[in-house]
Amino acid sequence: MSAEPSSQSPWQAATITRIERRTPRVTSFWFRPSRPFTHLAGQHVDVRLTAPDGYQARRSYSIASAPGAGTAIELAIERLDDGEVSPFFHDVAAVGDEIELRGPLGGHFIWEESDGGPILLVGGGSGVVPLMAMVRHRTLRNTAVPVALVFSARVWDEVIFRDELIGLDDRLDGFNLVLTLTREPARRPSDYSRRVDARMMAQAIERLPTAPRLTYVCGSNDFVSAAADALIDAGIPAEIVRTERYGV
């Protein structure tokens, strides 16, 4: 799915500089734009593929990297076997290839250090990607803003950025990771083995020193609807819930 067009961000060539498998279904691709740009945590880019006959397909992908983390931006793309664009990246794209992209895009689903906290992040599957940019931004800026991330995945091996997230959780510096697996038992004492619900959200909020100032929810349509309802049932005012929907 492609988000809104932006006349501010023209299409440009970007070179794939690195590819790294994250989980069996998700691979990270680093793109170095020919005209470098600065993004904010939570923003995305559009990519455009053009077939030899001129047919074009466009999709949006969130930026996983922290702002200012380097000249190449990381996109973490989940393979949908019956999809059009994501299998291309998984099966065909190689280091050195040029892809068209434009961005950064999106002005609502962003978190800057000056927005403060505490913040509660809720991600389902690849919906964790823009939240990862926020977590990395917090780390890179070395701020003490309290953050709780509730991350729902089907199984342990599908927890994207797992080692990095657990490493940050282990620092006990105000970042709290809550993993919830929907098809496997929980592996860590503080984690869950069910779909997100209001009780889980209430317990995540209790991990923060005070009520969240902002919450961010990202994932599939169904996940975002369920998680946003759970947040509201847990007492979070709708005005502070920001959502990003990936589509189907």
Number of residues that this document lists for the chain: 248
CB of 4 to ligand FAD, least distance (A): 9
3-state SS assignment for residue 105: strand
3-state secondary structure of 134: helix
Given the complex with ligand FAD, which of 77 and 150 has the nearer CB atom?
A: 77
Q: How far is the CB of 29 from ligand FAD (least distance, A)?
A: 10
Residue with smaller CB distance to ligand FAD, 1 or 211: 1
Residue closest to ligand FAD, measured at CB: 83
Q: Which residues bind ligand FAD (CB under 6 A)?
A: 1, 3, 44, 59-62, 76-78, 80, 82-86, 126, 129, 244, 246-248
Contacts of residue 90, Cβ cutoff 8 Å, sequence gap at least 6: 27, 77, 79
Residue closer to ligand FAD by CB (options 60, 192) is 60
Cβ 127 to ligand FAD shortest distance, Å: 8
Cβ count near 100 (within 10 Å): 15
Q: Whole-number minimum distance, CB 94 to ligand FAD, in Å?
A: 18
Q: How far is the CB of 59 from ligand FAD (least distance, A)?
A: 4
Smallest CA-to-CA distance from 242 within 223, 224, 218, 216 is with 216
d(CA 51, CA 53): 5
Residue 75 beta carbon to ligand FAD: minimum distance, rounded to whole angstroms: 6
Which one-letter DSSP state was computed for residue 192? Answer: B
What CA–CA distances, in Å, run from 4 to 1, 61, 107? Answer: 10, 12, 11
Is 182 or 203 the residue whose CB approaches ligand FAD more closely?
A: 182
Helices (H), 31-161: 86-91, 128-141
Residue 49 burial (10 A CB sphere; 0-12, 13-18, 19+): middle
CB closer to ligand FAD out of 78 and 158 = 78
Query: Which of 237, 247 has the CB closer to ligand FAD?
Result: 247
